Amino acid sequence: LVLAESELETVPREITGHRQVVASARRSGKNASRMILDASQHHAAMRRLPDGARRGRPDLVHLFLLTAMESRAAKRGQVRVAVHTRNDDWIEIDPTTRLIRNYVRFCGLIEKLFETGAVPAETPLLTRTAKRPLLPALDAMEADRLIWLDETAPRRRPAELFAKDDLDRHVVAVIGGFPHGQFQTGAPKTAERVSLWAETLPTWTVAAELTVHYGALGDDA
């Protein structure tokens, strides 16, 4: 599962001096430019940023990761997860990771990851590669099936999306990690563009649909 164009970044330089950002850095005892941008704390400062209304959503990434990594399919070892960000950072998470459930501590972990490139230092479970744009990264995955989740695409029933053969195939599904608007990148020509429902669903609900139905293939395997 790839969470694409997710709104995960450190506070951009343009707003590190904004009083709301300075105050939140002081409260948490952190350097402003190393903090994760969070719309719930930095909303006034973010009005100055391009795309300010959709940025700063580490909560979406956290909920997505918890949903995907704690699914039955993940516990059977059938799921790997990667997060691509608006700045083309590429984060891989070792499937054995027991992800932190507390949101504040999760943000602290991601801040450390942005600083050092790998956490925890002794045995890295999360690794970050900078400047890894989405399409070449997907290409390098050499998927047998590439599914691009998009509410504007042709409708498919979630329960009919996967066939038994998919258990032995490398299936990559791409979900948008942003709260509003559309992908900035167009889907590759080889992708199956799929809508699961007539309305927009949150990122983690889409991850839940995919992991439940993919996981069900393994029930009597």
Closest residue to ligand SAM in the complex (CB): 176
Establish if 200 lies at the interface with ligand SAM (CB under 6 A). yes
Establish if 178 lies at the interface with ligand SAM (CB under 6 A). yes
Establish if 196 lies at the interface with ligand SAM (CB under 6 A). yes
SS (H, E, C) 70-116: CCHHHHCCCCCEEEEECCCCEEEECCCCCCCCCHHHHHHHHHHHHHH
Q: How far is the CB of 208 from ligand SAM (least distance, A)?
A: 11
Establish if 201 lies at the interface with ligand SAM (CB under 6 A). yes
Establish if 192 lies at the interface with ligand SAM (CB under 6 A). no
Neighbours of 135 (CB within 10 A): 12
Q: Tokens representing 122?
A: 């002794």
Establish if 206 lies at the interface with ligand SAM (CB under 6 A). yes
Q: Tokens representing 89?
A: 């950072």
Residue with tokens 């979630």: 158
Distance (Å, rounded) from C-alpha 15 to C-alpha 32?
Answer: 9
Binding mask 148-177 for ligand SAM (x = CB under 6 A): -xxx-----------------------xx-
Q: Which of 179, 192, 217, 218 binds ligand SAM (CB under 6 A)?
A: 179
